[in-house]
Structures are given as C-alpha cells and as structure tokens.
Amino acid sequence: MAQTVTPHQRGIVAFQPLDVELRSVFKFFNQEPAVHGIDLDIRQGEFFSILGPSGCGKTTTLRLIAGFERVDAGKLLIQGQPMTDIPPYRRPVNTVFQSYALFNHLNVWNNIAFGLRLKKEKLRKAEIESRVNEALRLVKMESLRSRFPHQLSGGQQQRVALARALVNRPAVVLLDEPLGALDLKLRKEMQFELSNLHKDLGLTFIMVTHDQEEALSLSDRIAVMNQGKIEQIGTPSEIYERPKTSFVADFIGDTNLFSGEITAVETAMVQVVTKTGLTVVVNRTEDTPTDLLKAVVVSVRPEKIQLSLYQPTLVNNCFEGRLVNVMYLGTHVNYVVELINGIRINVLQPNTFGSLPDCDTPIYAWWAEDDCLAIDS
C-alpha cells in the first residue's frame, strides 16, 4: 500500500472526485444550532482541517460525517451517496477520538483486531493477521504488540488509536484533536508522522483541531469555523495571507486590527482612515471593499511591520511612536510600539540586531501597502 503514488504525491488533489459533501447542513441541540447551515466539499486524498475556537461546532461536524449524530436539515453525502439512513458502521469512514477510546482489557494487537473481528462479512484469520500487522507497521508499533494500554505512553496510545482506524481501510479518516493530549515535542513528531502516513496511504483525512499552527502545517485546505458557521475555506496560505473576515484574520496568527472607513478608492489601492486617526493605504485584492465610506477593518501582521530609528522617506503607512515593550524570544524579538495617537501595535522582527533598543526609544513603524488588508467589517 505504501508504494502506490497517491493523488497527493501527484499534486492533483484539486481534480479528484468529492469524498465528503455537506450541503446547508444544520444540527440543533435544545433548539440551538451547533452547526448552522454549513457547506463543505472535501476531495479524495485531501488533508482537510476544521479549525475554530472551543464550542464552534467542530466535533459536531465530524460526528455528523461519522454518523454518530443525525443531520437535522441539509444533505450529507459520502462518495456521492446520501448518508441519511446509513449507520456509522456502514459508512466508509473511521474516527480517531481525542480520548483514544482504547479497550483497557485488550493488548495492542487485539485492540487493533477488534473491529475486524466484528465485521459482518467474516474475514479469514490470515487476513485479519496480515491487516493488523500492516497497521502496526504503519504506526511503528510492531515491537509493542503485546502491551496493554496502561503500559503505553500517550504517544504510543495515540498510534494504536490511529492503527485501529486504519486497519478497516476506510476511505476517509476522521481525526478529532488527534494530538491534543501530547506534549509539544511529541506532538511535533506525530504531526510529521501523520503527514507522512497521509501521503503514503492517499486516504482522505479530516482533522479537527484548535491548534492553528498544526492546521497550517499539515493541511491541503482549512475550514475556519465560528459559532456553527464556516467563515472561510482555503489553503493555509490563503487563510493566513488573505483572510476574508476580521474573525479569520484575528484567529489565525497574530495581527493588528484597526477599524475605520474607506476615504478614497483608486484602481490599485484604497485609502482608509481609522477611528483613531491613522491614514492607511492598502493595495487592492479581489476581496477589497471599494465603496466610499464603507466600514472596514485593516489587518497588518506583526511580522510585516518594519521599525526604524529614523524616519524613512517615500513610504506610506509610516507612523511615529515609542517602544513600550521589547520581548526577546530567541530567534525573534517582539516589540510593542505605542503610536503617537495612543494606539499600541505588535511588531515581530527576526533577531538580527546586535543589541536591542531600550523601552521608550522613539521609533518609526511602517509597512508596505501590499502587506496589509482592508476587510469588510
């Protein structure tokens, strides 16, 4: 299985058929919508992540796909088939739960074999053995096959949970915060392995996470959810570089947001005057609002802001201020600058200077027209 060239490796995920489709899907708990009319198209072989704050409906969405919750309104299709009356065990999906949900009285091997033994179409013993061994090999757990869950570390338990999902050879693997319980170092290691596994197997992975870095580094595409709705779906760079809403800009990475209104519109740029009196020039993208006096939010990432002790010439978006905090982060330095209108902004710069400037140093902060966005507010 590991030798096949997957759609992912061929780089044609975008042209693959749809594996999972949600059309205006609603789910209510006590008359409150936990999932509020969402649309999703997830392609075969895609690594798709659902990202959003706690309580926004991520797990509920995954449980709807798995069949553990019923869709209240809208349509859900897997591989083109409506799933309305299909119970979880007859769907071509398998879930890895955050809690792992391993059976404590069974060893690793039997935990993985459990689902195969329950299958309606009886598998031969040799078939079960070869599938379990293959799953163990995929997650690098061959040597721990006889251990019981309480004799395993968190990371090893996580691998067993993954193997248990893969052993059924599902078309779609659903992962709910799969690495949430692991410490940072192990989490990074497992992220790498998860990504390799996905590339090798060519299966569709749908992962729920609230770790934005994890979603950005692993996914082909990300859906950002907020209060039961999808705010934006896009590739990691689209989500980070071109957020369509101020929620997405704020939730993904750090940013500086300034509310204001459009005061001039030109072919290539718009001018925004913020409520605090800053005049900002923003290069237009296809999503930039272009109505005069339209309320917008300007978003500028901390790493896009330059600092200079002397006033730079011939630049727009240059503001005078003073440093009020300098935080050394090793590879980077985080500066807080208070502009002369009293607004504080966050600036992140690589640690390339010999010595750091002191607090209270007068400073100019500036950014290019291309390095900020005007977003509909």
Ligand X SMILES: Nc1ncnc2c1ncn2[C@@H]1O[C@H](COP(=O)(O)OP(=O)(O)OP(=O)(O)O)[C@@H](O)[C@H]1O
Binding site for ligand X (CB under 6 A): 29, 34, 52, 54-60, 210
For residue 59, state whether it binds Mg ion (rule: CB under 5 A).
yes
Q: Which does 312 bind (CB under 5 to 8 A by kind): Mg ion, ligand X, none?
A: none
Our CB check for ligand X shows the closer of 92 and 180 to be 180
Pick 178 or 202: Cβ nearer Mg ion? 178
N residues, the chain: 377
- Using CB under 5 A as the binding criterion, the count of chain residues that bind Mg ion stands at 1
Q: Kind of pairing, strands 269-274 and 279-283?
A: antiparallel
Q: Compare residues 63 and 164 and give the one whose CB is closer to Mg ion.
A: 63
Euclidean distance between CA atoms 94 and 75, whole angstroms? 20
Contact window for Mg ion (CB under 5 A) among 28-36, 54-62, 343-351, 360-368: 54-62
**In the complex, what is the shortest distance from the CB of residue 370 to Mg ion, in angstroms, rounded to a whole number?**
37
**Which of 352, 93, 317, 285 lies closest to 204 in space, CA to CA?**
93
Residue 191, interface with Mg ion (CB under 5 A)? no
DSSP one-letter string for 27-61? EEETTEEEEEEEEEEEETT-EEEEE-STTSSHHHH
Judged by beta carbon distances under 5 to 8 A according to partner kind, the member of Mg ion, ligand X, none in contact with residue 82 is: none
Q: Which is nearer to Mg ion, 53 or 82 (CB)?
A: 53
User: Rounded to an integer, what distance in angstroms lies between the CA atom of residue 30 and that of residue 47?
Assistant: 32
Burial (Cβ within 10 Å: 0-12, 13-18, ≥19) of residue 166: buried
CB nearer to ligand X: give 58 or 198. Answer: 58
CB nearer to ligand X: pick between 207 and 365: 207
Of Mg ion, ligand X, none, which one does residue 239 interact with (CB within 5 to 8 Å by kind)?
none
Q: How far is the CB of 109 from ligand X (least distance, A)?
A: 31
Query: Counting beta carbons within 10 angstroms of the beta carbon of residue 27, is it exposed (0 to 12), middle (13 to 18) or buried (19 or more)?
Result: buried
Among ligand X, Mg ion, none, what does residue 55 contact (CB within 5–8 Å per kind)?
A: ligand X
Could you list the residues that contact Mg ion (CB under 5 A)?
59
